[in-house]
Amino acid sequence: MSVHIEPLQEAHVRDFLNWRDHRDPLYAMYNFIETEETVGEWYRWKTKGARDDYFAILEDGRAVGYMGLKHISAITRTAEVGIIIDPAYSGRGIGHAALTWLLAYGFEDLALMRIHLEVLPWNRRALALYRRLEFRKTREVPRQVEMPGVDASHAAIVPFADRIRFHRDYAVVWVDHMVLSKDRWRRAI
């Protein structure tokens, strides 16, 4: 596996159009639903923030994921991390390699002191990766999540019934808020 990271460009986003969709409805919110006509608008929306840095994750010249540091604060020296990988490429170590690079960028190049994230409680693969990278859960926070095709009777929801409330067009999920400090990151590398 040879992963290459570079600043996200509109051409990378066009690769997302060929990504496989998640079959599990619990992950449907991660499917890239844009079209050839809306890619440019999505790219401009995603990259317009002056306090956000987004990167393409490339394998063999093809964008197989993207990630970013959002809400970068020079005052508090914090940021929020997010990552999305094409489901066809999950389980190959790409997320680990990419986040290892992004954490070094955040802590070394941007001089951040803390990086945080939010993760759905049923996203076991992501939770395991974040724990391996030394992120620690600090609390649960409610977030509105679109979950088409999923309701309280969905078998996979049952173990998380205490962390989700369904409404007509959306659900409120108590997601895990996790934090990694620069000191803990240094000790882990």
Asked whether 114 and 182 are in contact (CB, 8 A), the reply is yes
pLDDT at 157 over 90: no
179-8-188 Cα angle (round to 5): 30
pLDDT digits (tens, 9 = 90+) for 93-111: 999 999 999 999 999 999 9
Contacts of 167 (CB under 8 A, 6+ apart): none
CATH number of the domain encompassing residue 8: 3.40.630.30
If you search the block for the tokens 């991660």, which residue do you land on? 30
Contacts of 173 (CB under 8 A, 6+ apart): 120, 121, 142, 143, 145, 160, 163, 164
Contacts of 148 (CB under 8 A, 6+ apart): 25, 28
Calpha distance 3→179 (Å, rounded): 25
pLDDT at 2 over 80: yes
pLDDT at 72 over 90: yes
Going by pLDDT thresholds of 50, 70 and 90, the confidence category of residue 1 is low
In this structure, are strands 53-59 and 136-145 parallel, antiparallel, or unpaired?
unpaired
Given phi > 0 = left and psi -120 to 50 = alpha, else beta, which region is 61?
Answer: left
Tokens of 175: 């997601």
Residue type for position 63: A
In this structure, are strands 114-119 and 136-145 parallel, antiparallel, or unpaired?
unpaired
pLDDT digits (tens, 9 = 90+) for 13-24: 999 999 999 988
pLDDT at 181 over 70: yes
Looking at 32-170, which runs of residues are DSSP E strands? 53-59, 62-73, 78-85, 114-119, 136-145, 164-166
Percent of residues, the chain, with pLDDT higher than 70: 99
Going by pLDDT thresholds of 50, 70 and 90, the confidence category of residue 139 is very high
pTM across the whole model = 0.93
- The domain tally of the chain equals 1
Q: Which domain holds residue 70?
A: 3-187
